[in-house]
Amino acid sequence: MDHPDAAPSGAQLHPAVLTAVTDPAGARRTLTGLLRSGADPDFPDEDGVTPLYLASVQGAADLVRLLLRAGADPDRPGGTEGLPLCAAAAGGHTDAVRALLAAGARPDAREEFGFTPLAWAIRGGHTAIVAALLDAGGDPDLPGPEEEPPLVAAARRGSPGIVRALLEHGGSAGRTEALAEARRWAALDIPAELTRTLLATRTGTLRVVTERSHHDGTERVAVRLLDPAGTLRAGDDRDLGHARIVPLLLTD
């Protein structure tokens, strides 16, 4: 029998964190109580996933800060899921990224298959997160998967703000290739190109849905493939700032 004064199991933290989306205030209260009672903030579940990883992937910045103040390791992987900082960067969770960096998370940490926080942020077109990583000392030339330079990935993505941030922090690797990518994509019908690429490896009846929005002052187009039941089968998106990237890369 457990002693009545024993610290609560760290396993209790996981369900508390998982309620962050539906009941953020309740999750915060529960988590605060458990941590004050001595629950281990780094306690992994059966898959090795930590409470901090769960909070980071959900973008629950308040819970991220609570766990970090209680001593959670900002660089501890969440089992096979990867790093908390990469999870927050991939999801576009700027406040969670800043909290992790403030607690000492390494901006240049690398996951399996070569992914870095910077690579994830560029892939999602998250300009503010790219800036936060670079301001925290991240390497603007740190290659991502398949050793691709960040400038090349950002130019293909079509995100002028990201290209500008990389250049302002001294990024230079792959500049010529990045310029070629920006010019190539600027000449394309991007919705049609995304649709063609997505359909090339898929069969069956699929409905193409194209959506447009604006992010960081740049138009973004997203193409989704839905099956007859309306289930998402594939998707991709791009920012449409390629023409604005070209002069940035031509300027000395």
Q: Are 91 and 59 in contact (CB under 8 A)?
A: yes
- Measured between alpha carbons, how far is 104 from 242 in angstroms, rounded to an integer? 34
- Measured between alpha carbons, how far is 78 from 81 in angstroms, rounded to an integer? 5
Pairing assessment for the beta strands 218-226 and 232-239 based on DSSP bridges? antiparallel
Structure tokens at 31: 């988590």
What pLDDT score was predicted for residue 5?
42
Biggest CA–CA distance in the chain, Å, is 71
* Exposed / middle / buried, residue 206 (Cβ in 10 Å: 0-12, 13-18, 19+): middle
What pLDDT score was predicted for residue 9?
62
What pLDDT score was predicted for residue 193?
97
Read out DSSP for 112-163?
Answer: GGG--HHHHHHHHT-HHHHHHHHHTT--TT---GGG--HHHHHHHHT-HHHH
* Exposed / middle / buried, residue 252 (Cβ in 10 Å: 0-12, 13-18, 19+): exposed
- Measured between alpha carbons, how far is 74 from 58 in angstroms, rounded to an integer? 15
Q: Are 64 and 34 in contact (CB under 8 A)?
A: no
Helix (H, G, I), strand (E, B) or coil at 170: coil
What pLDDT score was predicted for residue 3?
38
Q: Within the chain, how many helices (H) and strands (E) appear?
A: 13, 3
What is the CATH class of 1-106? Answer: mainly alpha
- The DSSP 8-state label assigned to residue 62 in this structure reads H
Q: Are 220 and 238 in contact (CB under 8 A)?
A: yes
Can you give the pLDDT of all 252 residues of the chain as single tens digits?
343 444 456 778 888 898 888 888 998 999 999 999 899 999 998 889 999 999 999 999 999 999 999 999 999 998 888 999 999 999 999 999 999 999 999 999 999 888 999 999 999 999 999 999 999 999 999 999 889 999 999 999 999 999 999 999 999 999 999 999 999 999 999 999 999 999 998 989 999 999 999 998 899 999 999 999 999 999 999 999 999 999 999 986
What pLDDT score was predicted for residue 105?
98
Question: For the chain, what are the domain ranges?
Answer: 1-106
Pairing assessment for the beta strands 207-215 and 218-226 based on DSSP bridges? antiparallel
Question: What pTM did the predictor assign?
Answer: 0.91
Q: Are 224 and 196 in contact (CB under 8 A)?
A: no
